[in-house]
Structure 1
Amino acid sequence: MTEPVPPLDPAELGAYFSLIEVSSLLRHTVEQQLKDAGGLSYVQFQLLATLGDAADGSLRMTDLADGVVYSRSGLTYQVGLLERDGLVVRAPSAEDERSVTVSLTDAGRALLGRVFPGHVEVLRQLFLVPLSREDVQTLDDVLGRVKAHMRTVPPRSARPRRKQA
């Protein structure tokens, strides 16, 4: 018999609901800005920005999926849309013949350059304005620890696939 799960106390519940609401409000505004400025979805922006941060602008599909926490099939679809628009290219990996590498194109870099200023402005105005520098550092520390803890569970793309019957 399993032990009953204790309820969340008011502070835990409040922190959780605040995180969910802040995340939802911020994501909604960011998504609208990305759509207006570059015709991008939030996930597509994440993919392009992650590639833009990579040393050579390229990542293996599995590493890209892990970085943005996205399913293999969803990532394949989104990368296909970005490739169709000339923002990325896919090629066999030089290190692993079973892997595919995604690389940011010049057009992808140019699009990031167009959407980033508005993106940063939304983040500043909606998210950072009410925070002091100390608040931002504390939030970075706290959320960094939570993220590291959550990353101890393998991301979906790294989990073993179920065998087909």
Structure 2
Amino acid sequence: MPDTPPSLDPVQLGTYFDLIEVTSLLRHAVEQQLRQAGDLSYVQFQLLARLGDAPAGSHRMTDLADGVVYSRSGLTYQAGLLEKAGLVVRSTSPDDERSVTVTITDAGRARLAQVLPGHVEVVSSLLFEPLSRTDVETLAGLLAPVRDHMRSAPPRSAAPRRRRQG
């Protein structure tokens, strides 16, 4: 007799579907705002925001891919679009010539400043407005260990590459 496959109880299933729906609705609204305010995709905004927060305004591409949980090839494409727009520059990493470093430009910082107020407004009104401060603190306390658990196994973008035989 085969083992019973794992299942979710009704509360777990409902919570899962609620989380997915909330995430989808919020992401859709954020993406619309970013496109309208600054002609940026959500991933492009994430890249600019991470670079803007970095002390030197730079990160290695692999670190960015891990941070935004995006494929290396997809990130390379997005960084290329941002570079064509003059919002970032890419260069060989000073620490490792096999790595590429991405650095935000002044134009990138200006674009980030352009979209940020609307971004904060969308997130505040959709996600935080219906919650009390205590609810927000509780939600943060619930999500942090889940995020940490999921990050304990690195995303594919951060996993070591297999060496080719041959």
TM-score range, shorter chain: over 0.9
1:103 maps to what in 2? Answer: 103
Report the alpha carbon displacement of residue 95 of structure 1 after superposing the two structures with TM: 1.2
- Report SS of the residue matched to 1:91: strand
**How do residues 41-60 of structure 1 correspond to structure 2 at under 5 angstroms?**
41-60=41-60
1:151 maps to what in 2? Answer: 151
TM-score by length of 1: 0.95
Instruction: Kindly indicate whether residue 21 of structure 2 is the aligned counterpart of residue 21 of structure 1.
Output: yes
Amino acid at match of 2:69: V
- Report SS of the residue matched to 2:126: helix
Give the superposed CA RMSD.
Answer: 1.5
1:74 maps to what in 2? Answer: 74
Task: State the 4+ residue runs in structure 1 displaced beyond 6 angstroms.
Answer: none
Report the alpha carbon displacement of residue 164 of structure 1 after superposing the two structures with TM: 7.0
Q: Which runs of 5+ in 1 are unaligned?
A: none
CA distance in 1: counterparts of 2:86 and 2:100, whole angstroms: 17
CA distance in 2: counterparts of 1:101 and 1:127, whole angstroms: 33
1:5 maps to what in 2? Answer: 5
CA distance in 2: counterparts of 1:5 and 1:142, whole angstroms: 27
CA distance in 2: counterparts of 1:43 and 1:78, whole angstroms: 8
- Report SS of the residue matched to 2:123: helix
CA deviation digits over 1:109-143, x for unaligned, max 9?
Answer: 00000100000000111111000111111111111
Give % identity. 69
Amino acid at match of 2:108: G
Amino acid at match of 1:74: G
CA distance in 2: counterparts of 1:39 and 1:30, whole angstroms: 12
2:142 maps to what in 1? Answer: 142
**How do residues 114-129 of structure 1 correspond to structure 2 at under 5 angstroms?**
114-129=114-129
Choose 22-31 or 150-159, whichever is displaced more.
Answer: 150-159
Count of aligned pairs: 165
